[in-house]
């Protein structure tokens, strides 16, 4: 089956077994979704979260590649057609993968993404003013020149010409967390460089989709984006799968995985 690696936002966040309409829209027809709590994620202790400090675009990124390899090796997807998707920081990870020659992914779905790290760190929402410590631990400080250099070096917007796989951008123009201008600029530069990009832009939406029409439109457009992968690739009778794992620096699952399969989609929880 097609394998989709889901990258969460934050990055101070973690994925759980809670219902997610986007994921469910993909799982229902039989796509395998591998939702990864990479290093730096919350929920696995301070040491695991601290492993993400300064690791964006580097170890946090290669964790996603290792997760895809693990999923394929364990029969959760096709090695020829892995896809990566994510929103906010997850969109960053997806966009970076699209420009990385070492990435295993053949398609990227990039939602409301941080594409210019320096711009984001200079323009975070005012409401975050008293709580920037986590962001600075991950991405560095804008008053340190060497950390600014890393922000520029490890930004997808600086790597547009390296894009090697198709990208679908999903974004809302009223995003008050990750400014739409990042998506707008990246799209302009990618099209000027003759890269394969498409976009679904919502005029009246922000970071999260609230309108029912929008909630359905984004995942539906994602499934239609790359016909060779998103349609007709599901083997008859194969059961949908949803898997959440914790990933460590050794590239191995950090928690044992317990499966519970029934007539409903298979569920897997890190325990």
Helix (H) / strand (E) element for 227: namely: helix 227-230
What is the C-alpha to C-alpha distance for residues 151 and 67, in angstroms, rounded to an integer?
24
> So what CATH class is 3-270?
alpha beta
What is the C-alpha to C-alpha distance for residues 229 and 216, in angstroms, rounded to an integer?
20
Q: What is the pLDDT of residue 230?
A: 47
Number of residues in the chain: 271
Each residue of 76-135: pLDDT tens digit? 877 777 899 999 999 999 999 999 999 999 999 999 999 999 999 998 876 665 567 778
Question: Angle 206-212-217 (CA atoms, 0-180°, nearest 5)?
Answer: 75
Q: What is the pLDDT of residue 17?
A: 76
Closest CA to 70 of 220, 230, 244, 225: 244
Residues of the chain with pLDDT under 50: 211-212, 228-240, 242, 245-271
**Strands, DSSP E only, in 39-166?**
83-87, 107-111
Q: What is the pLDDT of residue 167?
A: 93
Question: Angle 100-42-129 (CA atoms, 0-180°, nearest 5)?
Answer: 90
Q: What is the pLDDT of residue 240?
A: 43
Q: What is the pLDDT of residue 32?
A: 82
How much is the pTM?
A: 0.83
């Amino acid at each position: 089956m097609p394998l989709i690696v889901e990258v969460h936002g934050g990055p101070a966040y973690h994925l759980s077994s809670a219902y997610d309409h986007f994921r469910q829209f993909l799982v229902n027809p039989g796509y395998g979704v591998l939702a990864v709590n990479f290093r730096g994620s919350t929920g696995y202790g301070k040491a695991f979260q601290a492993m993400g400090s300064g690791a964006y675009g580097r170890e946090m990124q290669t964790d996603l590649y290792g997760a895809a390899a693990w999923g394929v090796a364990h029969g959760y997807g096709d090695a020829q057609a892995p896809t990566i998707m994510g929103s906010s920081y997850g969109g960053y990870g997806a966009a970076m993968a699209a420009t990385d020659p070492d990435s295993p992914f053949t398609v990227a779905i990039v939602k409301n993404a941080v594409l210019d790290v320096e711009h984001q760190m200079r323009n975070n929402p005012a409401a975050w003013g008293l709580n920037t410590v986590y962001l600075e631990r991950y991405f560095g400080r804008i008053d340190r020149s060497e950390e600014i250099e890393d922000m520029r070096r490890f930004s997808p917007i600086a790597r547009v010409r390296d894009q090697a796989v198709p990208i679908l951008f999903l974004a809302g123009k009223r995003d008050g967390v990750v400014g739409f201008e990042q998506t707008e600029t990246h799209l302009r530069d990618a099209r000027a460089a003759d890269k394969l990009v498409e976009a679904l832009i919502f005029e009246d939406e922000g970071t999260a989709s609230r309108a029912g029409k929008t909630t359905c439109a984004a995942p539906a457009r994602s499934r239609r984006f790359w016909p060779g992968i998103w349609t007709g690739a599901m083997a008859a009778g194969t059961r949908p799968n949803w898997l959440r794992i914790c990933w460590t620096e050794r590239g191995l699952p950090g928690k044992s995985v317990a499966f519970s399969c029934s007539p409903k989609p298979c569920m897997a929880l890190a325990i």
